[in-house]
Structure 1
Amino acid sequence: MKAQQPQHAQQSTNARYAQDGYLIELAERLRAQGLPADRVEATVTDLAAHLEESGAEDAEAEFGPVEEFAAQLVPATGERAPQAPDERVETWRWTADTYVDEELLNRFGDEGWEVERVDALGRFVSHRDVAQPQRWEYRRELVTRGREDLDERLAPDGWELCGEWIVYAWYKRPKAASIGPAARLTSTPPAPARSRFFSRKFYALLAVLAAAVAVAGAAVAADENDAASGAGFAAGLLTGAAAVVALAWGVSRWRGRRG
Structure 2
Amino acid sequence: MHSVTHSVLLIILIFRRTNGDSVNQTEGPVTVSEGALLTLNCTYQTASLAPYLFWYVQHLNKAPQLLLKGLTADRKVEHEGFQATHVKRDSSFHLQKQAVQASDSAVYYCALRFTGTGKLTFGDGTALTVKPKVKDPNPTVYQLRSPQSSDTSVCLFTDFDSNQVNMEKIMGSEGSTVHKTNSTVLNMEILGSKSNGIVTWGNTSDAGCEYTFNETIPFASSLEISCNAKLVEKSFETDINLNSQNLSVIVFRILLLKVVGFNLLMTLRLWSS
TM-score class, shorter = under 0.3
- Normalization by structure 2: what TM-score? 0.21
Name the larger-Rg structure. 2
Higher helix share: 1
More strand per residue: 2
**TM-score normalised over the length of structure 1:** 0.22
